[in-house]
Amino acid sequence: MEKKKKEKTKSTLSSMQEVLYAHEFRKADRAAGFGTSGKRGGNI
């Protein structure tokens, strides 16, 4: 039972991290001028 609970927590954490990472990458891309039609022409 202990192991199963740990696994569930781990999967929840990783999915949360995925969302956070996607957020961070988007922010970084925007800061670098990727996500906008600015310096880089907006091509990802």
Token digits for 19? 């969302």
What tens digit of pLDDT does each residue of 30-41 get? 777 765 555 555
Cα–Cα distance measured from residue 44 to residue 36, given in angstroms and rounded to the nearest whole number? 10
Looking at the structure of the chain, the number of domains it has is: 1
Amino acid at 3: K
Domain enclosing residue 36, as ranges: 1-44
Average pLDDT over residues 10-15: 75
Cα–Cα distance measured from residue 30 to residue 26, given in angstroms and rounded to the nearest whole number? 6
Please indicate, yes or no, whether the overall pTM of this predicted structure exceeds 0.85. no
Helix or strand run (H / E) with residue 24: helix 2-32
Q: Are 12 and 6 in contact (CB under 8 A)?
A: no
